[in-house]
Amino acid sequence: MKDYGDKKIVLITGASSGIGKSCAEYLAQKKDFHIFGTSRKASIPPIKTSDNLEMIKMDVNNDASVEEAINYIFKETKRIDILVNAAGFGISGPIEETSIEKAKEQFETNFFGIHRVCRKVLPILRKQKTGYIISISSIGGLLGLPFQGFYSASKFAVEGYSEALRIETRPFGIHVVLIEPGDTKTSFTDRREKIISTDKDSPYKEYFEKTIKIVENDERNGASPEEVAKLLERIINSPHPKTRYKVGPTSQKFVASLKGKIPDRSIEWILRKYYKVY
């Protein structure tokens, strides 16, 4: 067991790239934190990449892998103060043409991956009577995005899960928080799995291609992942964090904030016009 002094122990899933990596590196520069970042490509024991950052192997799709990583960390640190669930990916394509198998893959990582990690970390936080669980949702967790239906659905699931978990764990001093980024410049865009019927006569083909071009362009010109890292620091320094925080391009935050304030039909109109689904 090492001596981490007064440093807060932070576990960040999906820390090899994009938002998770940015959060890990940003907090590692501060003297108050020691970070364990996860990647499927790392190892156990972890690889130390700087004084305050170690990369440990974890596949959030796999019970044994999650258990092994968290057992290792807890054996070393005897506590976990902050969990950031950032591991995730996107699939895109027409809902009608998405197989159950592909839809389940999306949920396996983006939703069940979070539950797998939370189930192992919650007993630790509960016994400590303190801790933060911060999950990276998306603006797509607030608005059903065309041709990203299962991605949106997986993030809507994360939203409901976190709202419920926040209430259940309040008596144990645990803060459950959602971060909802808009388009952010990361490897997410290149890693997205595109699902489209091999049938060249797919009725959705033209709409899908137009929409995904706009989506990809917005992401490639999106916000810096460091914006999320700065927000994360603000949240974990807050004794009473809110349920959810939007971050990223102002126009996307604005449209998402209209939900519930203007008729759904008007939001649909904005999305149809913007993504050229007409």
Ligand X SMILES: NC(=O)c1ccc[n+]([C@@H]2O[C@H](COP(=O)([O-])OP(=O)(O)OC[C@H]3O[C@@H](n4cnc5c(N)ncnc54)[C@H](OP(=O)(O)O)[C@@H]3O)[C@@H](O)[C@H]2O)c1
- CB nearer to ligand X: pick between 59 and 81: 59
CB distance 87 to 191 below 8 Å: no
Catalytic residue selected from 132, 151, 161, 207: 151
Per CB under 6 A, the segment of 17-25, 69-77, 199-207, 266-274 that binds ligand X is 17-25
CB distance 132 to 83 below 8 Å: yes
CB 190, min distance to ligand X, A: 8
Per CB under 6 A, the segment of 125-133, 163-171, 179-187, 261-269 that binds ligand X is 179-187
- Residue 6: which region, alpha, beta or left (left: phi > 0; alpha: psi -120 to 50)? alpha
Q: Count residues binding ligand X (CB under 6 A).
A: 33
If you compute the radius of gyration of the chain from its CA atoms, what whole number of angstroms results? 19
CB 114, min distance to ligand X, A: 9
Helix pair angle (225-236, 18-28), 10° resolution: 50
* 181: contact with ligand X by CB under 6 A: yes
* 19: contact with ligand X by CB under 6 A: yes
184-203 positions binding ligand X, by CB under 6 A: 184, 186-188, 191
CB 105, min distance to ligand X, A: 9
Instruction: Please indicate whether residue 204 is annotated as part of the active site.
Output: no
Q: Which residues of 122-147 are buried (b: 16+ CB within 10 A; e: fewer)?
A: bebbeeeeebbbbbbbbbbbbbbbbb
* 80: contact with ligand X by CB under 6 A: no
Catalytic residue selected from 16, 65, 202, 224: 16
CA–CA gap between residue 161 and residue 136 (Å, rounded):
12
Instruction: Please indicate whether residue 155 is annotated as part of the active site.
Output: yes
92-121 positions binding ligand X, by CB under 6 A: 109, 113
**Inter-residue long-range contacts of 261-268, CB under 8 Å, 24+ positions, other chains counted:** 267/143
Catalytic residue selected from 26, 155, 161, 275: 155
Q: Are strands 53-57 and 131-136 parallel, antiparallel or unpaired?
A: unpaired
51-70 positions binding ligand X, by CB under 6 A: 58-61
CB distance 47 to 75 below 8 Å: no
Name the residues that contact ligand X, by CB under 6 A. 13-20, 38-41, 58-61, 86-89, 109, 113, 136, 138, 181, 183-184, 186-188, 191, 219, 222
Active site residues: 16, 137, 151, 155
